């Protein structure tokens, strides 16, 4: 620790060296960081010559290294593009809105598909529609599977499509137009 006292006796010289290198307001910080580097790196024996004097050349190299490190740190801090960060955050928010709106539309679609059956009148609308959409069966295949006329299958699926279209057209248009807020607002209103 005696070497730190010996180094500090030459503080005015260190300030002068750093000012010549171009340091301004951060001179004292660089000197303190240099002292820390000597202490943490265990360079005390190298900083003091055999005759007990300070090895100024060696310490000047440490000062120079610490000055360059401080310049790099300043330049790195200046190059942060906050507009880019804002853009990323806005993109994430937009993606979250899109995902939430899409989930609302799909939930509404599944709810409307569940309502396709009309008790007592058309009890198998949902099943026929699901065979057509989810199982990718043709109308003739559904006719053969269920055992009803092709005309009945066609009319049932046509009516199911029309009912879903009436209920979902506005939401699907909002989804395509990227009006996600409208979808979420309408969903909030219907939940109340």
pLDDT in tens, 94-144: 778 888 888 888 888 888 888 887 766 666 788 888 888 888 889 999 899
Structure tokens that stand for 43 in this block: 């360079």
Q: Would you state the pLDDT for residue 86?
A: 66
Q: Which residues contact 113 (CB under 8 A, 6 or more apart)?
A: 126, 129, 130, 164
Long-range contacts, stretch 20-25, CB < 8 angstroms, 24+ apart? 21/63, 21/64, 21/67, 22/67, 23/67, 23/70
The pLDDT of 10-20, averaged and rounded, is 86
- Angle at which helix 150-176 crosses helix 139-146, to 10 degrees, equals 130
Summarised one tens digit per residue, pLDDT across range 26-59 is 888 888 888 888 888 887 778 888 787 888 888 8
Residue 183's H or E segment, with its range, is helix 180-191
pLDDT at 6 (0 to 100): 81
For residue 145, pLDDT beyond 60: yes
Q: Do the Cβ atoms of 30 and 70 come closer than 8 Å?
A: yes
**How confident is the model over 2-25, as a mean pLDDT?**
83
Question: What is the spatial distance between Cα 67 and Cα 50, in angstroms, rounded to a whole number?
Answer: 27
């Amino acid at each position: 620790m005696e070497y730190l006292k010996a180094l500090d006796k030459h503080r005015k010289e260190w300030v002068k060296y750093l000012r010549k290198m171009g340091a301004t307001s951060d001179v004292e910080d660089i000197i303190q960081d240099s002292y820390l580097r000597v202490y943490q790196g265990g360079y005390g024996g190298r900083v003091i010559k055999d005759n007990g004097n300070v090895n100024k050349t060696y310490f000047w190299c440490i000062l120079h290294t610490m000055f360059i490190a401080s310049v790099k740190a300043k330049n790195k801090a200046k190059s942060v593009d906050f507009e880019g960060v804002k853009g990323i955050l806005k993109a994430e928010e937009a993606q979250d809105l899109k995902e939430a709106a899409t989930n609302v539309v799909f939930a509404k679609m599944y709810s409307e598909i569940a309502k396709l059956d009309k008790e007592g009148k058309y009890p198998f609308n949902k099943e026929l529609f699901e065979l057509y959409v989810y199982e990718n069966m043709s109308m003739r295949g559904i006719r053969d599977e269920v055992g009803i006329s092709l005309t009945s299958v066609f009319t049932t699926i046509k009516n199911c499509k029309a009912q879903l279209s009436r209920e979902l057209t506005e939401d699907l248009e909002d989804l395509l137009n990227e009006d996600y807020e409208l979808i979420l607002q309408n969903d909030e209103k219907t939940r109340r």
